[in-house]
Amino acid sequence: MKELNRANFENKKRPIKVMQFGEGNFLRAFVDWILQDLNNKGVINANVVVVQPTPMGRNKELASQDGLYTVCLEGIDKGEKVQSRQMIDVLGDFVCPYDDYAKFLEYAKSEDLEIVVSNTTEAGIALDTTDTDFTVCPKSYPGKLLAFLKARYDHFNGAEDKGLAIVPCELIDYNGRELKRILVELAEINGYDKEFIGWLTSANHFTSTLVDRIVPGYPKDKAEEICNEVGYNDINLVKGEVFHLWVLEKEPFVQAKLPADKSGLNVIFADDITPYKQRKVKILNGSHTAMVPVAYLSGIDTVREAVTDSDVGKFVMGLVNDEVKPTIDLPADEMDAFANSVIERFMNPFIRHELMSIALNSTTKFRTRLLPTYNDYRKKFGKSPEHILFSFASLCVFFKGKRGDEDIALKDDEEYLKFWAELWKDDDCIEIAKKALSAENIWQQNLDEDGNAEKVAGYIKDILELGERAALKKFLGE
Ligand SMILES: NC(=O)c1ccc[n+]([C@@H]2O[C@H](COP(=O)([O-])OP(=O)(O)OC[C@H]3O[C@@H](n4cnc5c(N)ncnc54)[C@H](O)[C@@H]3O)[C@@H](O)[C@H]2O)c1
Ligand SMILES: O=P(O)(O)OC[C@@H](O)[C@@H](O)[C@H](O)[C@H](O)CO
């Protein structure tokens, strides 16, 4: 089979106008796929330099194919199977700043560069106050970006027209504003002067965005079949659903440099991204996160199996209809249409979305993706949402680390893993529930309120004694 590289395939030369922090599945199947489309349609003429934001990553693998890789999209549209195989050729260069910091900073002098995009996970946009020595590669993503922007400012003597469009895609509230806030704070910590901070905030244009596409990543089970079909070997295949939505806060500079809404894809520049963010994170990510411990402990491995299972499916529908939807301020018909489309996307027969991949960092995800619904529900109805409490109880048992005789490959922050391990040294369900609910350092609030502990303890007891599925049936009143 042919090797995938620029000698054998595409070798389009385009100026490198985009610096991308992150080389993960999502950016490659979403942002780079959109940039490819914009290039193909002549809307932009831009390639990407990929900056690996952590010491371990896929830059070497991507570079080994000269940046070429294939995005495989599969889904159902109007009852018909839709599938595409798109070769992506926009990744023009790769930098690992840990190995070649000088090359990374050299890009700051580029006349072509206009845009920075990123997806460094929810953990990436965080202030690291120890990022103070920019003679070596900074540890955090904001540290790297600040070092880069300072080098650009110095090189171009603070020229206003050398600022960049900064477009983060991390799933945190107002990612653009948050990144800007952290950059300013870090600049102050580093003692940078007012002139630089003025340039940072006025010549550079930050926008907040909301991204949506389910991207399970490398299709292990189908990779050989796909390579045979396309006729070349591709170690960087990435699979996703056909659905995509990118909502960007309106920002004239960003719109001018990245007219991503101009190629007919599902890209929107909106005055306010809040309603899009709320409904997406609460309904889609919230039900993903809530279903993981319930479904996995019930013996299920994938999202599709979970939502099509009679018990877990009923649980997810109950959560979405009774607890999530009432907390979102959108017209009922719009909300129903969105919720139904999410459930259909979960049922996509061509996507194998492993629950264990969603389980990564479940502790933080419970806080960011379910607690906003928990709080809004309590404000509205004056009581706790039962499905979320049942999911919480299941999460506690999930972190006990066993599914039957099998060990669960728990992946979370070290401090959280320690917390859960400590919790299970106890065997009194009420003590376990109380300790778990009152961990304010994790949840940023005390969840041991209003009878929650008794309820969660009861669910934990049922799960331990009856097993998850029987406990779930009991919860559902079956
Ligand atoms: N995969 C999806 O379906 C999907 C869809 C929408 C949004 N997202 C979001 O995109 C993010 C990445 O998902 P993915 O599927 O590309 O994952 P991935 O594991 O393929 O890539 C993760 C990327 O984040 C970087 N990273 C990880 N921790 C970091 C840190 N602390 N600081 C800086 N960089 C860090 C890694 O180097 C890598 O580039 C997730 O947080 C997710 O919320 C994913
Ligand atoms: O990617 P994660 O691990 O942050 O979250 C898992 C899923 O909820 C997420 O990837 C969704 O599939 C995605 O957000 C859909 O747009």
The domain segmentation of the chain, as residue ranges, is 2-270, 274-475
Specify the pLDDT at position 325. 96
Ligand showing the shortest atom-to-Cα distance for residue 245: 2
Residue 356 Cβ contacting ligand 1 at under 6 Å: no
Q: How far is the CA of 192 from the centre of ligand 1 (A)?
A: 30
Q: How far is the CA of 114 from the centre of ligand 2 (A)?
A: 28
Cα 351 to Cα 192: distance, rounded to the nearest angstrom = 48
Specify the pLDDT at position 2. 92
Q: Which amino acid is at 329?
A: D
Class of domain 274-475: mainly alpha
Between the alpha carbon of residue 355 and those of residues 297, 310, 388, 409, 467, the distances in Å are: 11, 17, 17, 12, 19
Number of helices (H) and strands (E) in the chain: give both, helices first: 23, 16
Q: What is the ipTM of this complex?
A: 0.98
User: Does residue 231 contact residue 210 with C-beta atoms inside 8 Å?
Assistant: no
Q: Write out the chain's pLDDT in tens, 478 residues.
A: 899 999 999 889 999 999 999 999 999 999 999 999 999 999 999 999 999 999 999 999 999 999 999 999 999 887 789 999 999 999 999 999 999 999 999 999 999 999 999 999 988 999 999 999 999 999 999 999 999 999 999 999 999 999 999 999 999 999 999 999 999 999 999 999 999 999 999 999 999 999 999 999 999 999 999 999 999 999 999 999 999 999 999 999 999 999 999 999 999 999 999 999 999 999 999 999 999 999 999 999 999 999 999 999 999 999 999 999 999 988 999 999 999 999 999 999 999 999 999 999 999 999 999 999 999 999 999 999 999 999 999 999 999 999 999 999 999 999 999 999 999 999 999 999 999 999 999 999 999 999 999 999 999 999 999 999 999 999 999 9
Query: Which residue's CA lies nearest to atom 13 of ligand 2?
Result: 214
Q: How far is the CA of 164 from the centre of ligand 1 (A)?
A: 23
Which atom of ligand 1 is nearest to 171's Cα? 43
Residue 359 Cβ contacting ligand 2 at under 6 Å: no
Cα 27 to Cα 427: distance, rounded to the nearest angstrom = 43
Residue 346 Cβ contacting ligand 1 at under 6 Å: no
Query: Six-digit token pair at 411?
Result: 């992946």
Residue 172 Cβ contacting ligand 2 at under 6 Å: no
Specify the pLDDT at position 29. 98
Mutate which of 285, 365, 366 for ligand 2? The one with the most ligand atoms within 8 Å of its CB, which is 285
CB atoms near residue 473 (< 10 Å): 18
Ligand showing the shortest atom-to-Cα distance for residue 217: 1
Residue 166 Cβ contacting ligand 1 at under 6 Å: no
User: Does residue 252 contact residue 387 with C-beta atoms inside 8 Å?
Assistant: no
Query: Six-digit token pair at 35?
Result: 């940039």
- CATH fold label, 2-270: Rossmann fold (3.40.50)
Query: Six-digit token pair at 156?
Result: 């171009």
User: Does residue 164 contact residue 204 with C-beta atoms inside 8 Å?
Assistant: yes
Residue indicated by tokens 């206003």? 160
Residue indicated by tokens 């070649």? 100
Query: Which residue's CA lies nearest to atom 1 of ligand 1?
Result: 215
Specify the pLDDT at position 139. 97
Specify the pLDDT at position 80. 87
Ligand showing the shortest atom-to-Cα distance for residue 26: 1
* Residue 90: φ, ψ to 5°: -90, -10
User: Does residue 107 contact residue 113 with C-beta atoms inside 8 Å?
Assistant: yes
CB atoms near residue 29 (< 10 Å): 28
Cα 474 to Cα 465: distance, rounded to the nearest angstrom = 12
Residue 352 Cβ contacting ligand 2 at under 6 Å: no
Cα 295 to Cα 300: distance, rounded to the nearest angstrom = 5
Which atom of ligand 2 is nearest to 213's Cα? 16
Specify the pLDDT at position 76. 85
* Rg of the chain, C-alpha, whole Å: 23
Residue 171 Cβ contacting ligand 1 at under 6 Å: yes
Specify the pLDDT at position 77. 80
Residue indicated by tokens 């610096």? 19
Specify the pLDDT at position 10. 80
Specify the pLDDT at position 79. 79
Cα 391 to Cα 286: distance, rounded to the nearest angstrom = 11
Query: Six-digit token pair at 92?
Result: 């023009």
CB atoms near residue 409 (< 10 Å): 9
Cα 116 to Cα 180: distance, rounded to the nearest angstrom = 13
Show the beta-strand stretches assigned E in 90-143.
Answer: 91-95, 115-118
Residue 212 Cβ contacting ligand 2 at under 6 Å: yes
Cα 171 to Cα 22: distance, rounded to the nearest angstrom = 14
Query: Which residue's CA lies nearest to atom 20 of ligand 1?
Result: 24
User: pTM for this one?
Assistant: 0.95
Residue 214 Cβ contacting ligand 2 at under 6 Å: yes
Q: Positive or negative CA dihedral for 203, 113, 29, 81? A: positive
